[in-house]
């Protein structure tokens, strides 16, 4: 009997442990820290690096990269090519994010109830800055029982889809290697 | 003080019945009818001795003493030194003998009562229509609320489906499809807000009609707005019903009867009025030297008296020109009413035809919308199956869904229209909701 109780207890603990929870918590925590740094009148290099981590840490770049490259092309790539692309793409996105910090500033934010499906979730928020409202949507996938973001939609414009359209138009005239070269060049440029 | 919340359950029959019972306007009308009944009873009671008066008096009275006047005659004078007890009574009555005139008066009051009764019936039937409209309006608002909620859910699902297709890079799906869908979400939100407003208004009207408190719950037997199931007979039968049942015609008929009784009453006033009358008077004083003088209470003196009378009377109003004018006036009113009755019957029949055609039109429209709804249902099912197999054309699914939603909305409005067309037809015939029961399917 005692053994059964212990097993039941362990099962409950495991269930709670395995539950990835509400992805809104992740977004809220990140945003809180980010807003403090964004409000600073002077930012040190350390602050900028911290902001870069805060903005991008939530994202799974291998997912974002896979969604940004046309599916047919992505499937034909070797895993080395895919890893190379993810690395360059991550660098490019991370570097460009700190160039547009104003996009993340807000005076107030209201979070909507998250839409959670089996392995995916969406967190939407209404953000006000200088009296202007924007609608943000974070898209998450469940990876190893952790919510990992792979898209940020600002006012109906999806980051992943936007990249895909751009990459698609490049791939119409150029090869994947040329695209990789462009992304790597761009990542180094922004730096 | 807060009262305990209650759960009230109604179907259309019990709702209309309860609402009519609760309606203060109906209660006021019922009092009007009671007043007419009291008037008839009062007239009937006036038949027996309309004039019967009596009086009684007690008190001291001066005595009498004999004295001799200057001419040497012996006379009785008041003797205030010898006061004694006094008792007196007097009764007068008159009984009219014009029974015919009296009966005509009762007839007129009876006809007036009938007129009020049919007037109440007319108003009750129209209020019943108002409550039926309230009931169906409430069900319609519930359906609209369900549709709006469903539209929101479907829109969300369509958005999700397009987003998934976009994320999975499905060929043929563009960001524009998603944005087009979102641009249309305003219409859905607007429809939802309107549906909520309509529901809130309909609910508060129902609560008011039933005198319910905000914390009470109302549960309707009908969870769906369905077409009414009465069998409406052909127009010729309805014409016969109208002649037999219309409270307007019955009210006019009663009005004619009242007017004609009034003419008879005025005519009767031209003749003499016969009546029996009578009086009785008795007074007695035990003061002074009456005891010694005479023990006969009927002996004449200034106080003691016993008298009575009984006779047949006749009264004739000499200003006949005034009465004749009243007769002429009543006859004119009667002729006017007779003419009105003639026109009213044909006017009501014409209105009946209008209502009947409105009913036929709503029936045709309902059948047509049912057919179209079935078609859009099939289209939606087909589009949903195609979308499952190939999600590259979400627009086709969306269009099918919008068409189906609009058709459902039209269908419920047509059901409401049809139900009200039947209700208006029955109301015009003067039938209350309970009266239709034998004609239910």
pLDDT in tens, A98-150: 777 777 888 889 999 999 988 899 999 999 888 888 889 999 999 888 899 99
Most B CBs within 10 Å, among A60, A63, A71, A157, to test the B interface:
A71
pLDDT band at B306 (very low <50, low <70, confident <90, very high): confident
Give CA angle at B403 (B399, B404), nearest 5°: 115
Mean pLDDT of B405-415: 93
- Angle of CA points B193, B198, B204, to nearest 5°: 125
> How far apart are alpha carbons B123 and B427 in whole angstroms?
10
Q: Which residues pair with B138 in a beta bridge?
A: none
Q: Which long-range contacts (CB under 8 A, 24 or more apart) does A92-100 make?
A: A92/A183, A92/A186, A92/A187, A92/A190, A93/A56, A93/A59, A93/A61, A93/A64, A94/A52, A94/A55, A94/A56, A95/A52, A95/A187, A95/A190, A95/A191, A96/A190, A97/A52, A97/A55, A97/A56, A98/A48, A98/A51, A98/A52, A98/A55, A99/A190
State whether B306 and B158 are in the same domain: no
Give the confidence band of B327 by pLDDT, cuts at 50, 70, 90: confident
Question: Cβ separation of B175 and A161 shorter than 8 Å?
Answer: yes
pLDDT band at B296 (very low <50, low <70, confident <90, very high): low
- Answer yes or no: is B2 within a domain: no
**Å from B230 to nearest chain A CA?**
48
Q: Give the residue with greater pLDDT, B395 vs B192.
A: B192
Domain stop point among B253, B286, B315: B315
SS3 content of chain A, % helix, strand, coil (to 5): 60, 20, 20
Q: What would the pLDDT profile of B187-213 be if each residue is shown by its tens digit?
A: 788 888 999 999 999 999 999 999 888
Instruction: Give residue B38's pLDDT.
Output: 87
Task: State how far residue B170 is from chain A, nearest Cα, in angstroms.
Answer: 9
Contacts of A164 in chain B (CB under 8 A): 169
Helices B175-183, B99-167: inter-axial angle, 10-degree rounding: 160
What DSSP state is assigned to residue A101?
Answer: G
Question: Considering CB atoms only, which of A67, A70, A156 is closest to B167?
Answer: A67
The four Cα atoms B372, B423, B345, B121 give a dihedral, to 10 degrees, of: 180
Q: From B63, B122, B125, select the one nearest B286 (Cα to Cα).
A: B63
Q: Are residues B262 and B338 in the same domain?
A: yes
Partner residue opposite B168 with nearest CB, options A71, A139, A165: A71
For chain A, the average pLDDT equals: 84
Closest CA to A62 of A81, A40, A45: A81
Q: For chain B, what is the mean pLDDT?
A: 85
User: Strand, helix or coil at B390?
Assistant: coil
Say whether pLDDT at B1 is over 80.
Answer: no
Contact A156/B166, CB-based, under 8 Å? no
Buried/exposed code over B198-208 (b: 16+ C-beta within 10 A; e: otherwise) = bbeebeebbee
Cβ distance A71 to B175 less than 8 Å, yes or no, reads no
Nearest residue to B258 via CA among B115, B47, B117: B115
Q: What total of structural domains would you count in chain B?
A: 2
Does residue B380 contact residue B408 with C-beta atoms inside 8 Å? no
pLDDT grade for B439, boundaries at 50, 70 and 90: low
Tokens of A122: 């969406």
- pLDDT for the residue numbered B56: 94
In a domain, B21, yes or no: yes
- Kindly tell me if the per-residue pLDDT of B91 is higher than 80: yes
Same-domain status, B307 and B325: no
Of B181, B167, B179, give the one whose Cα is nearest residue A156.
Answer: B179
**Which phi and psi angles does B319 have, rounded to 5°?**
-85, 65
How close are the terminal C-alpha atoms of chain A, in Å?
63
Task: Give the Cα separation of A19 and A17 in Å (integer).
Answer: 6
Within 10 A of B314 (CB to CB), how many other CB atoms are there? 9
| Residue B308 DSSP label | E
Give A23: exposed, middle or buried? Use CB within 10 Å, 0-12, 13-18, 19+: buried
8 Å CB contact between B249 and B114: no
Lowest average pLDDT, out of A105-109, B53-57, B224-228, goes to A105-109
Give the other-Cβ count within 10 Å of A173's Cβ: 7
- Residue B421: C-alpha distances to residues B136, B356, B361, B415, B424 (Å): 12, 8, 9, 10, 5
CA B39 to CA B82: how far, in whole Å?
54
Highest-confidence range of B77-86, B110-119, B138-147, B386-395, by mean pLDDT? B138-147
Looking at the fold, whether B80 and B204 belong to one and the same domain comes out as: no
Provide the terminal-to-terminal Cα distance of chain B, rounded to the nearest Å: 46
Question: Does one domain contain both B85 and B228?
Answer: no
Work out the pLDDT band at A178, boundaries 50, 70, 90.
Answer: very high
Residue of A nearest to B157 (CA): A115
pLDDT (0 to 100) of residue B201: 94
Report, as an integer, the average pLDDT of B232-253. Answer: 90
Positive or negative torsion for Cα B425, B427, B433, B437: negative
Residue B390's pLDDT is 72
C-alpha to C-alpha distance for B163 and B173, rounded to whole angstroms: 9
* Same-domain pairing of B170 and B241: yes
User: What is the pLDDT averaged over residues A167-185?
Assistant: 91
Q: Which sign, positive or negative, has the C-alpha torsion B118, B121, B127, B128?
A: negative
Q: Which residues pair with A159 in a beta bridge?
A: none
Residue-range definition of the domain harbouring residue B311: 54-96+276-315
Instruction: Specify whether the CB–CB gap between B282 and B306 falls below 8 A.
Output: yes
* Domain match, B435 and B381 both: yes
Residue A6: pLDDT band with limits 50, 70, 90: low
pLDDT at B295 over 70: no
Query: Are B235 and B360 in a shared domain?
Result: yes
pLDDT band at B2 (very low <50, low <70, confident <90, very high): low
pLDDT band at A89 (very low <50, low <70, confident <90, very high): very high
For residue B371, is it within any domain? yes
Nearest residue of B to residue A140, measured between CA atoms: B167
Are B169 and A158 a contacting pair at CB < 8 A?
no
Q: So what's the pLDDT on residue A18?
A: 46
Per the CB < 8 Å rule, is B175 touching A158?
Answer: yes
What average pLDDT score do residues B326-351 get?
87
Question: Per-residue confidence at B23, pLDDT binned at 50, 70, 90?
Answer: confident
CATH number (domain holding residue B26) = 1.20.1600.10
Alpha-carbon distance B314 to B96, whole Å? 9
Residue whose entry in the numeric block shows the structure tokens 């009062």: B42
How far is it, in rounded angstroms, from Cα A130 to Cα A105?
10
Q: What pLDDT does residue A12 have?
A: 45
Domain check: are B11 and B33 in the same one? yes
| Torsion, CA A93, CA A94, CA A98, CA A101, rounded to 10 | 60
* Among B167, B169, B182, beta carbon nearest to A156: B182
Q: Say which CATH class A22-190 falls into.
A: alpha beta
Looking at the domain assignment, is residue B201 inside a domain?
A: yes
Q: What is the pLDDT of residue B299?
A: 54
Q: How many CB atoms lie within 10 A of CB A59?
A: 21
Q: Tell me: the pLDDT tens digits for A7-26?
A: 554 444 444 444 678 899 98
B167–A160 C-beta distance less than 8 A: yes
Task: State the DSSP string of B156-198.
Answer: HHHHHHHHHHHHTT-TT--HHHHHHHHHTHHHHHHHHHHHHHH
Residues B160 and B216 in one domain: yes
Q: What pLDDT band is residue A173 in, cutting at 50, 70 and 90?
A: very high
Cβ atoms < 10 Å from Cβ of B417: 19
B333 and B233 belong to one structural domain: yes
For residue range B27-42, list pLDDT tens digits in order.
Answer: 888 888 888 888 888 8
Q: Which helix (H) or strand (E) holds A132?
A: strand A132-143
Work out the minimum CA distance from B153 to partner chain A, whole angstroms. Answer: 13
pLDDT band at A93 (very low <50, low <70, confident <90, very high): confident
Shared-domain flag, residues B267 and B142 = yes
- pLDDT class of B344 with cuts at 50, 70, 90: confident
Strands in B198-272 per DSSP E: 217-220
């Amino acid at each position: 009997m005692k053994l059964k109780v212990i097993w039941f207890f362990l099962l409950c603990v495991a269930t709670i442990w395995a539950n990835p929870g509400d992805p809104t918590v992740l977004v809220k925590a990140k945003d809180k820290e980010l807003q403090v740094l964004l409000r600073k009148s002077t930012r040190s290099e350390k602050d900028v690096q911290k902001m870069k981590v805060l903005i991008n840490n939530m994202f799974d770049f291998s997912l974002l990269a896979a969604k940004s490259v046309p599916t047919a092309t992505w499937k034909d790539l070797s895993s080395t090519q895919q890893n190379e692309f993810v690395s360059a793409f991550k660098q490019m996105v991370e570097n460009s994010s700190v160039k547009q910090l104003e996009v993340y500033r807000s005076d107030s934010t209201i979070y909507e109830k998250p839409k959670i499906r089996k392995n995916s979730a969406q967190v939407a928020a209404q953000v006000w800055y200088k009296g202007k409202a924007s609608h943000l949507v974070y898209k998450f996938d469940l990876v190893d029982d952790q919510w990992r973001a792979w898209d940020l939609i600002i006012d109906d414009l999806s980051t992943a889809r936007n990249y895909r359209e751009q990459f698609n138009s490049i791939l119409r005239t150029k090869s994947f290697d040329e695209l990789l070269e462009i992304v790597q060049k761009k990542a180094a440029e922004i730096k | 003080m807060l009262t305990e919340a209650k759960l009230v359950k109604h179907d259309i029959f019990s709702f209309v019945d309860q609402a009519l019972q609760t309606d203060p306007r109906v209660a006021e009308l019922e009092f009007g009818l009671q007043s007419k009944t009291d008037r008839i009873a009062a007239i009937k009671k006036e038949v027996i001795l309309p004039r019967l008066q009596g009086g009684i008096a007690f008190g001291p009275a001066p005595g009498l003493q004999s004295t001799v006047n200057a001419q040497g005659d012996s006379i009785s004078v008041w003797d205030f030194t010898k006061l004694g007890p006094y008792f007196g009574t007097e009764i007068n009555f008159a009984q009219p003998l014009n029974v015919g005139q009296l009966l005509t008066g009762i007839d007129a009051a009876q006809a007036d009562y009938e007129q009020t009764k049919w007037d109440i019936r007319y108003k009750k039937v129209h209020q019943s229509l108002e409550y039926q409209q309230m009931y169906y309006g409430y069900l319609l608002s519930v359906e609209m609320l369900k549709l709006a909620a469903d539209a929101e859910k479907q829109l969300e699902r369509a958005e999700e489906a397009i987003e998934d297709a976009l994320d999975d890079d499905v060929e043929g799906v563009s960001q524009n499809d998603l944005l087009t869908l979102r641009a249309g979400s305003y219409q859905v939100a607007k429809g939802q807000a309107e549906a909520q407003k309509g529901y809130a208004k309909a609910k508060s009207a129902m609560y008011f009609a039933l005198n319910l408190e905000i914390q009470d719950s109302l549960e309707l037997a009908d969870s769906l707005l369905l077409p009414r199931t009465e069998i409406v007979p052909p127009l010729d039968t309805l014409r016969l019903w109208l002649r037999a049942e219309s409270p307007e015609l019955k009210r006019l008929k009663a009005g004619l009867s009242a007017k004609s009784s009034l003419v008879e009453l005025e005519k009767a006033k031209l003749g003499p009025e016969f009546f029996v009358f009578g009086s009785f008077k008795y007074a007695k004083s035990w003061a002074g030297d009456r005891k010694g003088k005479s023990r006969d209470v009927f002996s004449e003196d200034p106080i003691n008296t016993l008298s009575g009378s009984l006779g047949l009377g006749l009264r004739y109003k000499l200003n006949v020109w005034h009465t004749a004018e009243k007769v002429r006036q009543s006859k004119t009113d009667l002729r006017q009413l007779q003419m009105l009755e003639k026109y009213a019957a044909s006017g009501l029949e014409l209105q009946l035809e209008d209502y009947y055609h409105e009913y036929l039109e709503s029936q045709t429209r309902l059948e047509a919308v049912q057919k179209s709804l079935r078609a859009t249902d099939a289209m939606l099912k087909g589009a949903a199956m195609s979308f499952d197999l190939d999600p590259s054309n979400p627009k086709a699914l969306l269009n099918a869904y919008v068409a189906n939603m609009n058709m459902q909305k039209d269908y419920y409005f047509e059901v409401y229209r049809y139900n009200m067309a039947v209700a208006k037809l029955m109301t015009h015939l003067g039938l209350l909701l309970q009266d239709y029961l034998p004609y239910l399917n």
